[in-house]
């Protein structure tokens, strides 16, 4: 709550300090306060989810899936039915109409909903036992399944729920983006800001905007891949690593289980987001893209995610404390590649990010050289990370 309040205050001060005539104080206040209230509301839903699921990873996965569902309702509602959009709190957020109508009702609705959710969360917390979940647990077996007797099988079992949540979330994200393709030309023709993002589209906005959407979904898909890899730190902090390595098991094989699951996450999440986009645009467009066009434009981003996994492996091997720096670099990558045109970012600031070197299919030709270079970087960084993990004091 405190972070969102500080965010609202800083955003208000930042907007007012711009000195732009159309950005008045009242509009800046309602814009910032509504955004801050939305963040607080999402935090209350996260508290509620934490009473229902078992682990922190599941909380993150379910929370992101819930956020994407809200976005999907708003996206479909804005395109087809406004009443559907108002079901989603994210739809309320856009109805504040800051700097024009300055509506306060979205703020009050989100505040009331937050209070209700917090009260419900405390009630559920009082009903459940400590370290227990409200969801019914399946009956445990007396003996573990065969695949759980290996480090990889154990991690598959532990991370299965988070994998499912993220899979649903990425598919829904792709579906929501695909649903807007039916009216995408109107969106760009009536919005000079969007049009400036793809200046060379020549009227074919759908084809030129597809790589931009794939870039967003690829960077979002990087998050579960990194979280899967960095789960090794949580296992170490909780002391579980010591128990696993007490058996005749090498550290390299132990780290390999997290590393392999991160690779699987990268491919599966990209595929599902592309599949969701294909389904959405297939029913929204009169002349939809072909399946192979959509999936290829998604999977082509795998090498860039592999570079991030390589960086993450290096950090795991030599400096666990720098894990946040990897996420910061991912945020920087999103900023300079997606908003680079609007922010007039210099070319070298984009060139140091892996996603800048991915060809924008289908509007650009495919070149194999960047993929070879990124794969080599991924392999080298991973090897160095494995060497470091084998030497470090656990």
Query: pLDDT tens digits for 352-387?
Result: 899 988 988 887 888 889 899 999 999 999 999 999
Top mean pLDDT of 36-45, 152-161, 173-182 is at: 36-45
pLDDT of 95 strictly over 80: yes
253: Cβ contacts below 8 Å, ≥ 6 apart: 151
Tell me: the pLDDT tens digits for 237-291? 877 787 787 778 888 889 999 999 999 999 999 999 999 999 988 887 888 889 9
28 plus 80 within the same structural domain: yes
- In the chain, DSSP finds a helix count (H) and a strand count (E) of 18, 0
The reply to whether 141 falls in a domain is no
For the chain, percent of residues with pLDDT exceeding 90: 31
The reply to whether 180 falls in a domain is yes
Query: Running DSSP on this structure, what letter comes out for residue 276?
Result: H
- Domain final residue, candidates 102, 134, 166: 134
Q: Do the Cβ atoms of 45 and 62 come closer than 8 Å?
A: no
The reply to whether 139 falls in a domain is no
Name which of 247, 236, 254 is nearest 155 in CA terms: 254
In which band, very low, low, confident or very high, does the pLDDT at 59 lie, cut at 50, 70 and 90? confident
pLDDT at residue 198 in the model: 65
Is this structure's pTM higher than 0.85?
A: no
What's the number of domains the chain is made of? 2
Tell me the Cα Rg of the chain.
23
99 plus 222 within the same structural domain: no
Helices assigned H by DSSP within 20-148: 25-52, 56-79, 82-87, 89-94, 105-127
The reply to whether 142 falls in a domain is no
pLDDT at residue 112 in the model: 94
165 plus 303 within the same structural domain: yes
163 plus 208 within the same structural domain: yes
Q: Residue 46 and residue 4: Cα distance in Å, rounded?
A: 14
128 plus 193 within the same structural domain: no
Mean pLDDT, residues 171-199: 72
Q: Which domain holds residue 376?
A: 148-394
Q: Do the Cβ atoms of 218 and 301 come closer than 8 Å?
A: yes
Tell me: the pLDDT tens digits for 301-345? 999 999 999 999 999 999 888 899 999 999 899 888 876 655 667
């Amino acid at each position: 709550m405190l972070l969102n309040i500080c965010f609202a205050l800083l955003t208000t001060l930042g907007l007012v300090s711009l000195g732009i005539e159309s950005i008045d104080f009242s509009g800046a206040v309602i814009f910032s306060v509504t955004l801050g209230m939305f963040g607080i509301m999402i935090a209350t839903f996260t508290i509620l989810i934490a009473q229902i699921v078992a682990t922190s990873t599941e909380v993150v996965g379910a929370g992101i899936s819930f956020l994407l569902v809200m976005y999907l309702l708003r996206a479909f509602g804005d395109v087809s039915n406004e009443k559907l959009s108002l079901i989603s709190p994210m739809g309320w957020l856009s109805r504040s109409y800051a700097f024009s109508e300055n509506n306060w009702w979205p703020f009050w609705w989100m505040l009331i909903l937050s209070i209700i959710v917090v009260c419900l969360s405390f009630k559920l917390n009082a009903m459940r036992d400590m370290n227990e979940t409200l969801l019914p647990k399946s009956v445990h077996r007396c003996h573990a399944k065969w695949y759980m007797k290996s480090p990889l099988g154990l991690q598959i079992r532990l991370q299965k729920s988070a994998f499912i949540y993220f899979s649903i979330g990425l598919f829904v994200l792709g579906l929501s983006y695909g649903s807007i393709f039916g009216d995408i030309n109107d969106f760009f023709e009536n919005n000079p800001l969007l049009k400036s993002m793809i200046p060379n589209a020549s009227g074919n906005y759908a084809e030129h905007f597809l790589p931009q959407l794939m870039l967003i979904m690829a960077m979002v898909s990087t998050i579960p891949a990194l979280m899967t890899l960095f789960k090794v730190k949580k296992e170490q902090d909780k002391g579980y690593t010591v128990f696993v390595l007490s058996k005749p098991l090498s550290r390299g094989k132990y780290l390999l289980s997290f590393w392999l699951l991160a690779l699987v996450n990268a491919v599966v999440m990209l595929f599902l987001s592309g599949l969701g986009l294909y389904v959405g645009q297939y029913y929204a467009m009169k002349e939809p893209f072909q399946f192979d066009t959509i999936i290829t434009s998604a999977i082509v981003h795998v090498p860039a995610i592999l570079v991030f996994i390589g960086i993450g492996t290096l950090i795991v091997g030599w400096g666990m404390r720098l894990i946040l720096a990897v996420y910061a670099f991912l945020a920087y990558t999103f900023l300079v590649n997606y908003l680079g045109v609007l922010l007039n970012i210099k070319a070298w600031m984009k060139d140091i990010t892996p996603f800048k070197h991915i060809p924008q299919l289908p509007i650009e030709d495919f070149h194999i050289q960047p993929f070879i270079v990124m794969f080599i970087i991924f392999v080298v960084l991973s090897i160095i990370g494995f060497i470091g993990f084998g030497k470090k004091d656990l």
